[in-house]
Amino acid sequence: MTTHRQRARHSGRAAARLRCAAAAVALSAALAASGCSRRPPNGTPDGAVRELVARLRQLHGDPADAKAAFELLSRRARDNLAARAQRYSAATGKAIAPEAMITPSRFLLRFEPQRYVAQIAGAHALVDVAGLLPGERVQVPCVYEEAGWRVDLALPPLPPVQKRPGSEL
């Protein structure tokens, strides 16, 4: 037979185990929720610029790397590259994807970025990127579109297509 004292001790252990199990479930739920709430790279303007720099550094002619960098650009920048790709394709007779217009040989860091600070005004932001030396500073414009921040590179507009005199095309 069990005594009153043994039953009390047993029920106290059971309650402690139940509290431990409840705490473990709560901790697991909190960890799972925090793991799921990790921001995407373009969740902030400075994150988008940092990620674009990282992706451009990886760019060595692989179309998948170029596509990853292309996806971080604003609609305006992507449209500009698409127009350039279309013009190149028409002139050469070879189809080229817009992201292929991002070439590794054309990307060169002027300095090693050390700090990214964003100033946000509505759907637009300027990211101040600074290096180690005082002259190493650039401001990168970003825009919030398609549920994320995109780097709004100001690419020069395409010049009009020149036609030969007397040409009907």
Residue-level pLDDT, tens digit, the chain, 169 residues: 555 555 545 455 544 443 433 333 333 333 344 445 678 888 999 999 999 999 988 888 788 889 999 999 999 999 999 999 999 999 899 999 999 988 766 667 788 999 999 999 999 999 999 999 999 999 999 999 999 999 998 888 888 877 778 766 5
Please check whether residue 140 is in contact with residue 49, taking contact to mean a CB–CB distance below 8 angstroms: yes
* Domain that includes residue 124, residue range: 41-151
If DSSP codes are grouped into helix, strand and coil, which group holds residue 121? strand
Instruction: Kindly state whether residue 90 falls inside one of the protein's structural domains.
Output: yes
Please check whether residue 80 is in contact with residue 157, taking contact to mean a CB–CB distance below 8 angstroms: yes
Instruction: Kindly state whether residue 33 falls inside one of the protein's structural domains.
Output: no
Domain containing residue 82: CATH number: 3.10.450
Please check whether residue 70 is in contact with residue 99, taking contact to mean a CB–CB distance below 8 angstroms: yes
Domains held by the chain: number:
1
Neighbours of 106 (CB within 10 A): 9
Q: What is the side-by-side strand order in the sheet with 115-121? A: 115-121, 124-130, 137-145, 148-151
Instruction: Kindly state whether residue 3 falls inside one of the protein's structural domains.
Output: no
Instruction: Kindly state whether residue 31 falls inside one of the protein's structural domains.
Output: no
Instruction: Kindly state whether residue 84 falls inside one of the protein's structural domains.
Output: yes
